[in-house]
Structure formats: C-alpha cells, structure tokens
Chain A
Amino acid sequence: MTDPITLSTLDLETKDKTFLDANELVINMGPQHPATHGVLRVILRLDGEKVMGLECVIGYLHRGVEKIAENRTYTMFNPYVDRMDYVAAVSNGLGYCETVEKLLSVEAPPRAQYIRVILTELNRMASHQLWLGTHALDIGAITPLFYTFRDREEILKIFEKYCGARLTTHAFRIGGLQYEAYDGFEQDVKKFVKFVTPKIDEYEELLTTNRIWVERTKGIGVISAKDAIALGVTGPVLRASGVKWDIRKAQPYANYKNFDFEIPTGQNGDTYDRYLVRMAEFRQSLRIISQAVDGLPEGPVMAKVPKVMKPPVGEVYHSIEAPKGELGYFIVSDGSTQPYRVRVRPPSFVNLQALDVMCRGQLVADVIAVIGTLDIVLGEVDR
C-alpha cells in the first residue's frame, strides 16, 4: 500500500516500537461487515491492534447516477438524486432543484422556500438521528438506536403525509413545490418540535456524560483544522475541528439568511466533539424549524417555469449544507432538454478521504468508531 497523503499526522511509524512490532498484518474489513455502514471495504494495515494505515475500496454501490443524468431531462433526473444520500433525500432534492433554478434564473416563491427549509431541517434531524443510533450501536450502546428511530418515525410520518413517501421523498420540484402543504402541516411540525425537544435531552442523558462513551470517543479520530481543510472535509466533521464553516451562513440559500441560528463548533476535532456538534445541530435545526413555521408566508408554491426546460448554454455550481457537509451540484447545459454533464460533489465521499488520517495510530475498535462518526452513506459515496 502506498501513502498518498503526507500530512503532519503520519509520522507515527517512528515512535512506539517494541519487539512485538516485527510483523505487520493486513486485514480486510468489509464490504460485508456490520460496522461499515453498507458496503464499504477497508483494507487495514495493522501493527498488533494499532492501525498503521488504511485504504478504502469503494464502488460496490455504484449506479452511475451522474451518467444517468445525461440521458434524462432536468425534471426526470430529479427523483434520482434522492437515491444518493438516501437518509437525507430531501437535502439532495433541494440542492438539485436550486442548482437548476439557478441555471434557469428563476427563484422559488417565499412560501415554497419556507416549506423547503422546514422539510430540509426535519430531514437533517432524521439523518442525524440515524447517525446517532448507528454510531452508538457501533460503540456498543444498543439502546440509543431505538430511541432515535422512535423519534425519526415522527419525521418520516410528516414526510409521508406531505408527499406520500418516507425515504426517497422527491419532495421538491424545479421552481418550487409540487404540492401545497397539507392541512394541519404547521400543527404537525409544531407538535413534533414540542415532542422532540425533551427527547434530545434523553439521548444526551444516555451518552454525553457516560464515562465509557467519553473514553471511547475523546481523543479518537482527531483531525486538525488544517488537515480537514486540506482534505476538503466539510460539515459537522469540519466544524468539530473548530472551523466555523456552514454554507447556510457562508453562502445563504433558500432564505436561510432570514433565520436566526448559530453554527455549533468544537475544538479538538475528535469523535466526541463531532458528537457534541451534531447534538447541538439538533437544537439549531429545531430553532430554524420553529422560526420557519411561525413565519410561514402565504402565497403560491410554484414559480413560473416552462413545461419543457431548456436552460441557456452555460454551467453553474451551487452547493448547500446537507446534513453530512457541503453537497454541491455542477451542471453543464448545452441548451438542450437534457444536461450535458452533471457532477455531484457528495460530502460523504470527500469526508471519507479523511478516514486514513483520522485512523492512523488508533486501534481497530477506533476505526469502527471513526467510520461511524464520519457519518457516511455509501449510496452517496459511490453514487
């Protein structure tokens, strides 16, 4: 195995040598492994139980989403993006719709944007809940999974009532929304906010001050702000290293500038900080949702867009803050009904590159914790 990355963290080979270090062991983890969150294959180079380096083998879930886009019209491709990060399908749809809107130079009406924000933030919570449950399960705490799935169910119920689907929602359309919010949507969301606020304390109660949890996560998988930026890491992983970078604030889209919320950051860039950042994001999402529901304007939910979309020749890049980090779409239009090229910048794929840096010098058990804390979805990594 080669070492393509030469960063400050990689000089571990020189210290901590004892006579037991004579041989290195290369073991294979995955793609069929309960803790790799899907079909990730990791080749570990071990010294005893210490990780000397690792290499991710991806592509087991490759479906050629970007290539499919070249043979579909702009509208037809919209459902496909839901299948990338399938636990945060709404965010994917938002990113795609906004990019095409940018290409077409239209803007969704305010009411549509508010409902988009509500649904996207709900989806962020659902994604974080799934992350928390599986991450805790990887570290051996089996109970949080059931707590988070109980509450995630309420979010999925709202999605189901809104658009009929729970997971791959296809909630948004280019130019706004297909459906007006159903009767009682606001009450449902308000009820959910009231319901879930104490539940987040419940999750924290089980884990935040739990001695074993702290010992398993503090100082594990540390990545410095410099390394994180060099590797292009975004999202909670970057923020936990102390970088206050959130596209919702940095390059506001979809009316996010109207909402009052904070960007939680960590200091140490370890697994525990990433956990705390995501827990804080739950609360910030709730804040945004409450504000959006309270200020939900009246009006149409669909802008005037042509039935047959023929965007002008040109290219556009637009990115949003998905639950896992910066989700960007780069679309090249040749003036026809189908995009010439669609390139997705998935947060999971870029964040996964940091795994090697984060795991060097840690133990095998920590690799599992770090994979969990990166919050990758293989559908998005492989596309």
Chain B
Amino acid sequence: MNPVATPFFFYLLAGTMLIGGILVITRRNAVHSALALIIALLAQAGLYLMLYAPFVAGVQIILYAGGIMVLFLFVIMLVNIERTQKERQFNKQWLVGVAAAAALGGLFIAIYTKGKGIFPGGGMPPAGLEGQNTQNVGVLLYGQYMFAFEIASLLLLVAIIGAVVMAKKRI
C-alpha cells in the first residue's frame, strides 16, 4: 500500500523517541527510566516499519522491548529504590560526557551535510521490498553471510556458557 502522512508519523515517532530518551536519563526512579526506555524502543520499532524493514521492527519488539527490558526490570525491581532516589544523579564525569555527546552530534551533523547526496532521495522504494523483506533477510543471512552469522551465534553461545559457569559454582 502507499504510504500515508509519512512526515507526520516520522516526527511523531521521532519525537516520542527523543522524549523517551530524555526521560530515561532524567528520571530518578529506575523503573520509570526503564518504562521510558521501552517507549523509546517501541518508537524506534515504528521507525523501522517506516523504513520498510518490518523484520527488524518485529525483532526489535521481541528482543529489546519484550525480552531484554523484562530482564532489566527484573533486576531493577530487586534494587532498593528509596536509596537510589536519594543519591546524586549526575556525577563528576559530566564534562567528559558533554564533550563525547558533542563530538558524536558533530559527527552526525557532518555526515548529514556532507553525505546528503550519497543516500537515495525520496520516492517509493522498489516494489516488493516490504512484502519480501523477511524473505530477503533470511536468504542473505543464510546464503551470502552464512559464515558471519554462524560466528555471531557461536560468540553468543560462548557468552551463555561463560555466564552459566560463572554464576554456578557447582555444575
């Protein structure tokens, strides 16, 4: 189907994501931060959908919003909220942080201004991109990039086994 009101949805999602991101770092209550992070992640999934990448959007929802954030909340719930609320929120590293953020922002702006011509302009993406997106991802992952994919999965397996070994003394 043809896209409708694209700028509106883009700004809506992007705005939600920004607000969510800001709330993540300003909330004193860790659970509220996590909630804001979930909102930001969901908005990001929406942006992926707008980029005709439904598979990435779905994975984003399942893995980040559904899986990882649940584990985050799991840990946060066991933390003493009263104590964290009294602690100072911004520590001495704020100068370094601002510098790093400014550098990263500068990089983004530079890429945006210099590389504007490199990216394809507006207009419709090639037909079938949305309909066959998942299939294309699958064919690429299990065809062309099979080796890289398997290496990544092996790395994850090592991480899982390492975590189990470290957490459990007696196996």
Chain A interface (Cβ < 8 Å from any Cβ of B): 18-19
- Distance in angstroms from B23 CB to nearest chain A CB is 32
Chain A to chain B contacts (Cβ below 8 Å), 6 pairs: A18-B167, A18-B168, A18-B169, A18-B170, A19-B167, A19-B169
In the complex, the chain B residue whose C-beta lies closest to that of A20 is: B167
Q: Which of B137-168 contact A (CB under 8 A)?
A: 167-168
A18 to B168, CA, bound (A): 7
In the complex, the chain A residue whose C-beta lies closest to that of B169 is: A18
- Distance in angstroms from A11 CB to nearest chain B CB is 17
Measured between beta carbons, the chain B residues less than 8 angstroms from A19 are 167, 169
Measured between beta carbons, the chain B residues less than 8 angstroms from A18 are 167-170
- Distance in angstroms from B35 CB to nearest chain A CB is 27
Q: What are the nearest 3 A-B pairs in CB distance?
A: A18-B169, A18-B168, A19-B169
- Distance in angstroms from B153 CB to nearest chain A CB is 28
Measured between beta carbons, the chain A residues less than 8 angstroms from B168 are 18
A18 to B170, CA, bound (A): 8
In the complex, the chain B residue whose C-beta lies closest to that of A15 is: B170
In the complex, the chain A residue whose C-beta lies closest to that of B166 is: A19
- Distance in angstroms from A46 CB to nearest chain B CB is 15
- Distance in angstroms from B77 CB to nearest chain A CB is 15
A19 to B167, CA, bound (A): 8
A180 to B93, CA, bound (A): 93
- What mask results when residues 61 to 84 of chain B are scored 1 for a CB within 8 Å of chain A, else 0? 000000000000000000000000
- Distance in angstroms from B34 CB to nearest chain A CB is 23
Measured between beta carbons, the chain A residues less than 8 angstroms from B170 are 18
A18 to B169, CA, bound (A): 7
- Distance in angstroms from A21 CB to nearest chain B CB is 11
- Distance in angstroms from A272 CB to nearest chain B CB is 28
- Distance in angstroms from B167 CB to nearest chain A CB is 8
A19 to B169, CA, bound (A): 8
A54 to B167, CA, bound (A): 28
Measured between beta carbons, the chain A residues less than 8 angstroms from B167 are 18-19
- Distance in angstroms from A34 CB to nearest chain B CB is 25
- Distance in angstroms from B78 CB to nearest chain A CB is 11
- Distance in angstroms from B124 CB to nearest chain A CB is 55
In the complex, the chain A residue whose C-beta lies closest to that of B170 is: A18
- Distance in angstroms from B43 CB to nearest chain A CB is 36
Measured between beta carbons, the chain A residues less than 8 angstroms from B169 are 18-19
- Distance in angstroms from A13 CB to nearest chain B CB is 16
A19 to B170, CA, bound (A): 11
A164 to B170, CA, bound (A): 64
A181 to B51, CA, bound (A): 88
In the complex, the chain A residue whose C-beta lies closest to that of B168 is: A18
- Distance in angstroms from A102 CB to nearest chain B CB is 59
- Distance in angstroms from A62 CB to nearest chain B CB is 40
In the complex, the chain B residue whose C-beta lies closest to that of A17 is: B169
A18 to B167, CA, bound (A): 8
- Distance in angstroms from B154 CB to nearest chain A CB is 28
- Distance in angstroms from A15 CB to nearest chain B CB is 9
- Distance in angstroms from A369 CB to nearest chain B CB is 27
A231 to B143, CA, bound (A): 70
- Distance in angstroms from A210 CB to nearest chain B CB is 32
- Distance in angstroms from A90 CB to nearest chain B CB is 52
- Distance in angstroms from A48 CB to nearest chain B CB is 12
- Distance in angstroms from B74 CB to nearest chain A CB is 14
A317 to B37, CA, bound (A): 72
A18 to B171, CA, bound (A): 11
- Distance in angstroms from A380 CB to nearest chain B CB is 41
A19 to B166, CA, bound (A): 10
- Distance in angstroms from B170 CB to nearest chain A CB is 7
A19 to B168, CA, bound (A): 8
A98 to B70, CA, bound (A): 64
- Distance in angstroms from A25 CB to nearest chain B CB is 12
In the complex, the chain B residue whose C-beta lies closest to that of A16 is: B170
- Distance in angstroms from A124 CB to nearest chain B CB is 47
A18 to B166, CA, bound (A): 11
A236 to B170, CA, bound (A): 38
- Distance in angstroms from B26 CB to nearest chain A CB is 32
- Distance in angstroms from B36 CB to nearest chain A CB is 30
In the complex, the chain B residue whose C-beta lies closest to that of A18 is: B169
- Distance in angstroms from A258 CB to nearest chain B CB is 59
- Distance in angstroms from B53 CB to nearest chain A CB is 40
A337 to B166, CA, bound (A): 75
- Distance in angstroms from A49 CB to nearest chain B CB is 14
- Distance in angstroms from B163 CB to nearest chain A CB is 13
- Distance in angstroms from B27 CB to nearest chain A CB is 28
A189 to B2, CA, bound (A): 81
- Distance in angstroms from A47 CB to nearest chain B CB is 15
